[in-house]
Amino acid sequence: MPVSEFVNHHNNKDLSELFHRLNNELGIILSHAELLEAKCEQDKNRSRAAQVVAAALEAMGTVRQIRSQVNDLALVK
């Protein structure tokens, strides 16, 4: 389903709530990964935790981009 159809079938409030929940969940993943990274004694494990931190930050950025595009589409309709 194209994004524009998805936006038409869901109201903007519902989508905002979903984006908010996803961002909160990613924030929890990020905080746990940061704690693991800080507490890891082995470089190998610290490096893996750092990869999770980086991925969570990228995912949060992606959520912001999607939210922005959905909001732009909502303004057009």
- The pLDDT of residue 35 is 98
- Which pLDDT band, with edges at 50, 70 and 90, does 31 fall under? very high
- Stronger pLDDT, 37 or 14, i.e. the higher one: 37
Can you give 4-33 as a three-state secondary structure string? Answer: HHHHHHCCHHHHHHHHHHHHHHHHHHHHHH
Span 45-75, pLDDT tens digits: 999 999 999 999 999 999 999 988 888 877 7
Average pLDDT of the chain to the nearest whole number = 87
The secondary structure of residue 70, as a DSSP letter, is H
- The pLDDT of residue 73 is 76
**Residue ranges of the domains in the chain?**
3-76
CA distances in angstroms from 61 to 13, 22, 27, 67, 76, listed in the order given? 20, 12, 11, 10, 23
